Amino acid sequence: MAKIEKISPLAPKGFPVMPQIDGVLFATAATGMKYKGRDDLLCAAFPDGATVAGVLTLSRTASAPVDFCRANLATGQKARALLVNAGNSNAFTGKAGDAAMRSTVMTLAENMGCAAEEIYVSSTGVIGEVLSADQINKHLSATVDALSPGGWRDAAGAILTTDTFVKGATRTVLLDGTEVTINGFAKGSGMIAPDMATMLGYIFTDADLSQDVLQSLLKCTADQSFNAITVDSDTSTSDTVLAFATGKSGVGERIRSVDDPLLAAYRAAFLDVMQDLAHQVVRDGEGAHKFIEVRVSGAEDNRAAKVIAMSIANSPLVKTAIAGEDANWGRIVMAVGKAGEAADRDSLEILIGGQKVAAEGMAVPGYDEAACTAHLKGQNIDLSVDVGIGSGTATVWTCDLTHDYISINADYRS
């Protein structure tokens, strides 16, 4: 498992107790590729296969593993295994990187007795360094032999890079009268401004869902979770979220649409897991001391509201003001204006911690700045903006920008 230093002050109290999911096995190994004294390789296996869905980065410099997963998703075949390494993203590594990745996939396929099209792979870490296939391949036989149920925390810990805590979430819910489980874990701390996904995230369930339903479910919940967070406005080359449904509960097969009323409670629980993990990524934002929720209303439509919300959430001036516990709401005005979406300057309203500080084109007379400052001294910050145009709404989450962020990223490769 990952050896972690200086846990984020926004970290949850601990890793949740994760129930076993029938049809999911895990094993981890230490390759020594970048990290010493910790596991950095994860293998998940689905002996009887699992329906798989994925949302992947839209980066035009996507990594070899992202391209491989995208191609395998298109086949519609069930998944038999997932292989993840930490410390090297195998991105921007050309034909050599692609060959190294395929070598690990083929070695795992031979050990699993399955086809390469049934294997999914992710890599996370430094960009531009070719993956050392040999360092992974020599561990795969023993790793496959060690596959067993449980081990969720070790699995989640093996994929970390600059993360300071292990991120997991679990929910149980009734689906068509039968209790099913949804477990997930993720990694991410910096280079977080997802475009279809986040750094790495994996969801596992024993529901029996078709690929079309699972894909629609993953996409719509990603848009309300991983696609609604930002740490530093930078979209990774490796962003990947995959969902695996083993079907072992025996329920869900008759659901044909993500909008089926039978799926409503399950869909809500699935979203809850996705948002829990996405929030944990923000709470582990590099150097973060504060978790910030930005709500925008009154926009032309929901798309415009999200653009404005992200403009606020990504603004270095807004984020540093919050880090400094300075109720400088003028920076929020700036961020709304630069977003490029319709906004009525003289109808704009801004609230900090629930208190209206700006309205009708100016500061609210007599607003209590001391109360705003007191709110900003806390760890959970609420910003609300109404732009006075229409009915569009959006909520996004971010963190503050501190000196620690610079220190972490200035020293990342050293």
The per-residue DSSP string of 196-240 comes to: SS-SEEEEEE-----HHHHHHHHHHHHHTTGGGB-SSS---SS-E
Per the prediction, the chain carries an average pLDDT of: 92
Q: Is 161 annotated as a binding residue?
A: yes
If pLDDT is split at 50, 70 and 90, which confidence band does 125 have? confident
**Which class for 214: exposed (0-12), middle (13-18), buried (19 or more C-beta within 10 A)?**
buried
Tell me what the mean pLDDT of segment 249-276 comes to. Answer: 97
Q: Which CATH superfamily hosts domain 291-410?
A: ArgJ beta chain, C-terminal domain (3.10.20.340)
Q: What is the pLDDT of residue 411?
A: 65
Distance separating alpha carbons of residues 343 and 44, to the nearest angstrom: 48
Task: Write down the domain spans for the chain.
Answer: 25-283, 291-410
Helix pair angle (316-323, 302-314), 10° resolution:
60
Catalytic residue set = 198
- For residues 170 and 206, is the Cβ–Cβ distance under 8 A? no
In 3D space, the residue among 47, 58, 194, 202 whose CA is nearest the CA of residue 122 turns out to be 202
Tell me what the mean pLDDT of segment 215-244 comes to. Answer: 88
Worst-scoring range by mean pLDDT, 73-87, 269-283, 396-410? 396-410
Q: Is 187 annotated as a binding residue?
A: yes
In 3D space, the residue among 198, 273, 209 whose CA is nearest the CA of residue 240 turns out to be 198
Q: What is the pLDDT of residue 414?
A: 41
Eight-state DSSP code of residue 148: B
Whether the pLDDT of residue 198 is over 60: the answer is no
If pLDDT is split at 50, 70 and 90, which confidence band does 231 have? confident
In 3D space, the residue among 263, 266, 147 whose CA is nearest the CA of residue 205 turns out to be 266
More confident residue, 261 or 231: 261
Distance separating alpha carbons of residues 280 and 168, to the nearest angstrom: 8
Q: Is 13 annotated as a binding residue?
A: no
CATH number of 25-283: 3.60.70.12
Q: Is 414 annotated as a binding residue?
A: yes
Q: What is the pLDDT of residues 43-52, one digit of tens each?
A: 999 999 999 9
Tell me what the mean pLDDT of segment 231-248 comes to. Answer: 84
Residues 6+ apart with CB under 8 A from 212: none
Q: What is the pLDDT of residues 25-62, one digit of tens each?
A: 999 999 998 899 999 999 999 999 999 999 998 878 88
